[in-house]
C-alpha cells in the first residue's frame, strides 16, 4: 500500500513522458514521493509560467506532450497564461495540480491557496479540466487526456487532485497505458469531392497551418502535383521548405498574397484557423472569390471564419495521403523554377519583399547569421521586433524548428523558457531564443533554471531600450510615449550573476564569432545586440 500521489509519476511514464516541469509545494508533496523513484527527469523553473512555457517548447519540437506538476491556487493561476498560449497554438500539455481538501471545496473558509471554482477557472485554457475524487479514477482520466493529445486537436489538459486524495493510501494503480484510438481518417466522399475540384482548375493555391506539421511528405507531393503556389503560417513553417520553388513563405499578412488567394481558382487550406495570428502582420480579413477546401482535425473549425466549400474532417497526414491516392499522385522530378505555379510564387515573394517594414533587411541578417553559423538550429521567438520583422523571411527547411509567442495567445516572456524546454527535448541541436529587452524581463530568472538544468541555450537579446514596437504604434497614432521608455538594466552583469556567458556584439563579424563559440558552451550564452544606428547601418552595407 502507498499513496495515490506516489502512483502518478509512474502512470504518466507509461505513456512515454520522460520529463516533468514544476515547482514543489506543500500541496504537491505526494506527487514528488512517486517522482523520486520513477526515473523521470524533473526541471525546476523559477516561476510556474516558466514551467508551462518549457513544456510548450518541449512539445513543439517533439510533437509529444510534456507534463507539469503545479501546486494549487497561485501556482495554477501562474501557469494559466502558458496554458492559454498552448491552447491557442494546439500544443499538447498535461498539467497536474493539487487542490484544497475535499471537505473544504467551495466552502470559502480561507484555506491556503483556496480558489473559488479552481477547476472552472482552468477550463477556459484546457481541452478539459477534471477534479479527481477517487484514486482509482486516475488511469481513466489520464487515458482521456492522451486521447486528446494523440487523436484530436491537441491542447492542454488539467487534472486537479485534492490534497487528501493525493495522500490517501491505495493499492497500486494500473501502470499499463490503454490502446489510444488513432487520429480520424477522412470520409472517402469528402476526399473524392476535393480531388475532383482540384483536378478541374489550373494552379490552385495551398495554405499550410500548424495542423500540417507532421504531414510534410504528403503535402509536398500534392503541392508539386498541383503545381500550387503555397503559403504557410508560422506554425506551418517548414512543412514545405522555404527554398522550394512553390513556397511563398509566411507572407499571409501582405496584400499581394491576400489578393492572389482571393483570385485563385481554388484554395486548399490545411490545419489552419484562417485567423488573425495566422496572418499576423496586420490581421487581414481574407476573402475568397472561388472554392475553399479545408482539411482539419477539429470539425468545428471547418465552419469557422470562412466555412469550407468542401470540408475534409480528419488528420492532415491521413487526409493528404488519401487525396494523393485519389489523384493517383506519383513520384515526380523536382518542380521546375519556370513552372506556372513557381513563377507565381516567385512574383509574390518579390512583391512582398518590396513591402517589408523599415529595418526588416537588417534584422533578417540576424536570423540569417544564426542559421548560417548554427546549422540545424531551432529558433524560438518572443513577441519582439526582431521576430515581427523576420517572420515572413526566415528560412525554414523542416517543421518544428521555428516558432514564437506572437502566435495564438500572443504572450511576452515566452522565448527563454520555451527554448529551455526545446533544448531539453533535443540536446544535440542548438536552440536560440530571440528576445527583446522588454519581454526578456518577464522571464529573465529562468536563466538560473537553464544553468541548473545544464541546458546551454543561446539567447539573442535585441535591446532597443524599452518597448520599441509599442513605441512605434504610439508614434503612428500620435500618442505621447507613456510606459514604453522602461529602465534598461545591465543584462550582461545579470546574466553573469546567474552563471551564464554574456557578451555584447560590437558588429556583425563579432556577432558571428560569438555565435560560433556557443557550440562548445556548457551553460547558456547571452549575446546582446544594441539596436542603434551604427549597428543597423553596418547591416545595410552588408545587404
The residues facing 226 across adjacent strands are none
Q: What is the pLDDT of residue 543?
A: 56
Q: What is the DSSP string of 276-315?
A: HHHH-SS-PPP--SSEEEEEESSGGGGGSSS--SEEEES-
- Average pLDDT value for residue range 388-412: 91
pLDDT: is 335 or 483 the higher one? 483
- Mark whether 12 and 77 lie in a shared domain: yes
Lookup: cell for 61:
519540437
Q: Give dist(CA 281, CA 59) in Å, integer.
A: 26
158 with 40, same domain: the answer is: yes
Contact 209, 278 (CB under 8 A): yes
Examine the pLDDT at 27 and tell me if it is beyond 80: yes
In whole angstroms, give the CA distance from residue 505 to residue 502: 10
Residues 368 and 496 in one domain: yes
- Quick check: is 179 in a domain? no
Checking if the pLDDT of 265 tops 60, the result is yes
Structural domain includes residue 332: yes
Domain's final residue, options 320, 353, 386: 353
In a domain, 111, yes or no: yes
Question: Residue 253: beta bridge partners?
Answer: none
pLDDT over threshold 90, residue 535: no
Q: Which tens digits make up the pLDDT trace of 70-116? A: 999 999 999 999 999 999 999 999 999 999 888 888 778 888 788 88
Q: Quick one: which of 312, 311, 305, 276 has its CA closest to 288?
A: 305
pTM of the model: 0.94
Structure confidence at residue 377 (pLDDT): 96
Pair (465, 380) in one structural domain: yes
Which grid cell is 102?
475535499
**What is the average pLDDT score of the chain?**
91
Average of per-residue pLDDT across 494-505? 96
Count of domains in the chain?
A: 3
Least confident of 10-24, 111-125, 188-202, 522-536: 522-536
Whether residue 177 is contained in a domain is answered as no
Report yes or no on 178 lying in a domain: no
- Beta strands (DSSP E) in 33-115 are 41-43, 66-70, 93-99
Q: Label residue 338 exposed, middle or buried (CB < 10 Å: 0-12, 13-18, 19+).
A: exposed
Q: How many CB atoms lie within 10 A of CB 524?
A: 30
459 and 507 both lie in a single domain = yes
Give the per-residue pLDDT at 241. 96
The answer to the question of residue 183 being in a domain is no
3-state DSSP call for residue 41?
strand
The residue range of the domain holding 339 is 188-353
Predicted pLDDT of residue 117? 86
Q: What is the pLDDT of residue 149?
A: 97
Rounded Cα gap, residues 391 and 234, in angstroms: 7
- Check whether residue 416 and residue 334 sit in a common domain: no
Let me know whether 243 and 325 are in one domain.
Answer: yes
Give the residue-averaged pLDDT of 451-477: 89
Of 537 and 292, the structure prediction assigns the larger pLDDT to 292
Q: Identify the CATH number of the domain in which residue 256 sits.
A: 3.40.50.1220
Q: Can you give the pLDDT at residue 284?
A: 67
User: Cell numbers 475534409 correspond to what residue?
Assistant: 312
Report how far residue 151's alpha carbon sits from residue 180's, in angstroms, rounded to the nearest whole number.
8
Does 364 lie in the same domain as 341? no
Band (467; pLDDT cuts 50, 70, 90): confident
pLDDT score for 534: 61
> Is the CB of residue 248 less than 8 Å from the CB of residue 349?
yes
Check whether residue 288 and residue 417 sit in a common domain: no
Q: How many CA atoms lie within 13 A of 517 on its CB side?
A: 15
**Domain-embedded: residue 466:** yes
Please give the share of the chain, as a percent, with pLDDT higher than 70. Answer: 95
Phi/psi for 24 (5° steps) reads -60, 150
Q: Rounded to whole angstroms, what are the CA distances from 112 to 30, 167, 444?
A: 17, 17, 28
- Asked whether the beta carbons of 314 and 186 are under 8 A apart, the reply is yes
- Alpha carbons within 13 angstroms on the beta-carbon side of residue 375 total 0
Question: For residue 391, which of 470, 281, 469 has the smallest C-alpha distance?
Answer: 281
Query: 378 — phi, psi (to 5°)?
Result: -105, 125
Report residue 532's pLDDT band, with 50, 70 and 90 as the boundaries: confident
What pLDDT, on the 0 to 100 scale, is given for residue 465?
81
Query: Are 264 and 334 in a shared domain?
Result: yes
Residue 152, pLDDT above cutoff 90: yes
Indicate whether 318 and 453 sit together in one domain. Answer: no
Helices and strands (H and E) in the chain: how many: 22, 20
- Say yes or no to pLDDT of 179 above 90: no
pLDDT for residue 170: 86
Of the listed ranges 31-40, 97-106, 161-170, 355-364, the least confidently predicted one is: 355-364
Distance CA 52, CA 442 (A): 14
Domain limit, last residue, from 292, 319, 353? 353
**Range 32-51 average pLDDT:** 93
Q: Whose CA is closest to 96, among 116, 115, 122, 114?
A: 122
Q: Average pLDDT of 51-55?
A: 98
**152 and 242 share a domain?**
no
Q: Could you tell me the CATH number of the domain that includes residue 125?
A: 3.40.50.970
Is residue 86 in some structural domain? yes
Distance of CA 115 to the CA centre of its chain: 29
How far apart (Å, rounded) are the C-alpha atoms in residues 349 and 256? Answer: 9
CA atoms within 13 A on the CB side of 45: 30
Give me the torsion for CA of 60, 69, 459, 397, rounded to 10°. Answer: -10
34: pLDDT confidence band, cut at 50, 70 and 90?
A: confident
Of the candidates 170, 204, 231, which is a domain's last residue? 170
Amino acid at each position: 500500500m502507498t499513496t495515490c500521489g506516489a502512483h502518478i509519476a509512474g502512470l504518466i511514464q507509461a505513456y512515454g513522458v520522460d520529463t516533468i516541469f514544476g515547482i514543489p509545494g506543500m500541496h504537491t508533496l505526494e506527487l514528488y514521493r512517486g517522482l523520486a523513484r520513477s526515473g523521470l527527469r524533473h526541471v525546476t523553473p523559477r516561476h510556474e509560467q516558466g514551467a508551462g512555457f518549457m513544456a510548450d517548447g518541449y512539445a513543439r519540437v517533439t510533437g509529444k506532450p510534456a507534463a507539469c506538476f503545479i501546486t494549487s491556487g497561485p501556482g495554477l493561476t501562474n501557469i494559466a497564461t502558458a496554458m492559454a498560449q498552448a491552447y491557442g497554438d494546439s500544443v499538447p500539455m498535461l498539467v497536474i495540480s493539487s487542490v484544497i481538501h475535499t471537505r473544504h471545496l467551495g466552502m470559502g473558509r480561507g484555506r491556503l491557496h483556496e480558489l473559488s471554482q479552481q477547476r472552472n477557472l482552468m477550463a477556459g485554457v484546457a481541452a478539459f479540466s477534471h477534479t479527481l475524487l477517487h484514486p482509482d479514477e486516475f488511469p481513466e482520466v489520464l487515458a482521456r487526456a492522451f486521447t486528446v493529445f494523440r487523436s484530436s486537436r491537441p491542447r492542454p489538459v488539467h487534472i486537479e487532485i485534492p490534497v487528501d486524495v493525493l495522500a490517501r493510501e491505495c493499492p497500486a494503480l494500473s501502470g499499463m497505458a490503454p490502446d489510444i484510438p488513432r487520429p480520424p481518417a477522412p470520409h472517402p466522399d469528402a476526399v473524392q469531392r476535393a480531388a475532383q475540384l482540384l483536378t478541374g482548375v489550373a494552379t490552385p493555391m495551398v495554405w499550410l497551418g500548424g495542423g500540417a506539421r507532421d504531414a510534410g511528405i504528403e503535402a509536398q507531393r500534392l503541392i508539386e502535383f498541383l503545381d500550387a503556389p503555397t503559403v504557410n503560417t508560422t506554425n506551418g513553417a517548414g512543412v514545405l521548405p522555404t527554398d522550394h520553388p512553390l513556397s511563398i513563405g509566411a507572407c499571409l499578412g501582405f496584400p499581394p498574397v491576400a489578393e492572389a488567394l482571393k483570385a485563385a481558382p481554388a484554395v486548399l487550406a490545411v490545419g489552419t484557423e484562417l485567423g488573425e495570428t495566422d496572418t499576423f502582420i496586420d490581421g487581414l480579413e481574407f476573402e475568397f472569390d472561388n472554392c475553399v477546401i479545408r482539411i482539419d482535425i477539429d470539425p468545428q473549425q471547418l465552419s469557422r471564419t470562412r466555412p469550407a466549400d468542401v470540408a475534409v474532417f480528419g488528420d492532415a497526414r491521413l487526409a493528404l495521403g488519401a487525396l494523393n491516392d485519389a489523384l493517383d499522385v506519383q513520384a515526380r522530378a523536382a518542380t521546375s523554377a519556370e513552372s506556372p505555379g513557381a513563377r507565381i510564387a516567385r512574383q509574390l515573394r518579390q512583391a512582398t519583399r518590396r513591402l517589408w517594414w523599415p529595418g526588416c533587411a537588417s534584422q533578417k541578417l540576424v536570423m540569417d547569421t544564426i542559421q548560417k553559423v548554427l546549422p540545424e538550429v531551432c529558433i524560438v521567438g518572443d513577441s519582439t521586433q526582431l521576430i515581427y520583422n523576420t517572420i515572413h523571411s526566415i528560412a525554414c527547411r523542416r517543421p518544428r524548428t521555428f516558432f514564437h509567442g506572437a502566435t495564438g495567445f500572443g504572450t511576452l516572456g515566452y522565448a527563454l523558457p520555451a527554448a529551455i524546454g526545446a533544448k531539453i527535448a533535443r540536446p544535440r541541436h542548438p536552440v536560440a531564443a530571440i528576445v527583446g529587452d522588454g519581454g526578456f524581463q518577464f522571464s529573465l530568472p529562468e536563466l538560473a533554471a537553464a544553468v541548473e538544468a545544464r541546458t546551454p541555450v543561446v539567447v539573442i537579446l535585441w535591446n532597443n531600450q524599452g518597448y520599441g514596437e509599442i513605441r512605434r504604434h504610439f508614434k503612428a497614432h500620435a500618442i505621447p510615449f507613456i510606459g514604453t521608455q522602461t529602465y534598461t538594466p545591465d543584462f550582461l552583469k545579470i546574466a553573469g550573476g546567474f552563471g551564464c556567458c554574456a557578451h555584447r556584439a560590437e558588429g556583425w563579424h563579432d556577432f558571428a564569432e560569438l555565435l560560433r563559440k556557443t557550440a562548445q558552451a556548457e551553460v547558456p550564452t547571452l549575446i546582446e545586440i544594441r539596436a542603434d544606428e551604427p549597428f543597423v547601418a553596418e547591416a545595410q552595407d552588408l545587404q
